[in-house]
Amino acid sequence: MGTLAALEYHLVAYRRVWRASVFGTFALPAMFLVAMGFTVGGYVDERSSGLGAPYLDWIGPGLLASTALQVAVADSTWPVFSMFNWIKVYHAMRASPLTAAAIARGHLLFVALRVAIAGVAFLLVMLLFGAVHSWWAVATPLAAVLVGLAFAAPTFAFAAAVDSDGYFAVLFRLVVVPMSLFAGVFFPVGGLPAPARVLAYASPLWHGVELCRAATLGTATAWGAWVHAGVLVAYVAAGYALARRGFTRRLED
């Protein structure tokens, strides 16, 4: 019940500001697909890329997974840090019967909901562009949620541990941006040097890209769907353990 009570706070707050996120949720995916799928994709398709599908159809699910990552990061850095250090919402929650673990779970569930909405919106845009070729595509929002939580949970722990929001710039520059560029979103990771491939395979985004791409194209994944899903679940579990520990240290010790 405590988890749902914490989630309710975020839902009530979001109800007041949801209109501001509509453009980013629906319009930006369409613009991104047009920019990458049609313009860049036209050049790629002319040169027989060997991707097994038009570049628009191939890059769409990758961008969907990347969008899930971006939404999760946006909701797991400054919002979490501010509730510890600036507006003290977590401390107010802890003054109630809510435990630190329930506070962390409630906020993580809200992030999962935000990622799911973004995933569904992106999937609808892909459908309008004719980039969906399998009924398995209905599972892509779930894959997006796994990707989002696989990054959000450890980022919660990071936000609970740092004493300055300046560390988030380091997180973006050294983790988020490289992961977005080299985890199979824009091109196959098989063409990367061996050390870079290892890093790509270790990233949660690559596993999410594989799941989303297989679902929308109706093809097999690189390592099998259950392996990719298992890796993402492991990231979520480990990240949640770290987040729970960090929240407990900040709110109960």
pLDDT in tens, 142-192: 999 999 999 999 999 999 999 999 999 999 999 999 999 999 999 899 888
**Whole-angstrom Cα distance, residue 172 to residue 179?**
9
Location of structure tokens 């985890």 = 183
Closest CA to 212 of 223, 200, 201, 225: 225
Q: Which residues are CB-neighbours of 18 under 8 A, at least 6 positions away?
A: none
Average pLDDT along the chain: 91
**Whole-angstrom Cα distance, residue 106 to residue 10?**
8
Q: What is the pLDDT of residue 24?
A: 67
**Whole-angstrom Cα distance, residue 75 to residue 148?**
10
Q: What is the pLDDT of residue 25?
A: 67
pLDDT of residue 49 exceeding 80? no
Per residue in 83-131, pLDDT tens?
A: 999 999 999 999 999 999 999 999 999 999 999 999 998 999 899 888 9
**Whole-angstrom Cα distance, residue 219 to residue 202?**
22
Per residue in 13-24, pLDDT tens?
A: 998 888 777 776
Q: What is the pLDDT of residue 176?
A: 94
Q: Are 216 and 126 in contact (CB under 8 A)?
A: yes
pLDDT of residue 52 exceeding 90? no
pTM, 2 dp: 0.93
Q: What is the pLDDT of residue 167?
A: 96
Per-residue b/e over 188-225, b at no fewer than 16 CB within 10 Å? ebeebeeeebeebbebbbbbbbbbbbbbbbeeebbeeb
Per residue in 30-46, pLDDT tens?
A: 787 777 777 777 777 76
pLDDT band of residue 205 (cuts 50, 70, 90) is very high
Q: What is the pLDDT of residue 48?
A: 61
Top-confidence residue, 136 or 49: 136
Q: What is the pLDDT of residue 141?
A: 95
Closest CA to 96 of 159, 5, 4: 5
Q: What is the pLDDT of residue 209?
A: 97
Q: Tell me the average pLDDT across 213-230.
A: 94
State percent of the chain over pLDDT 70: 96
Which one-letter amino acid corresponds to residue 87?
A: I
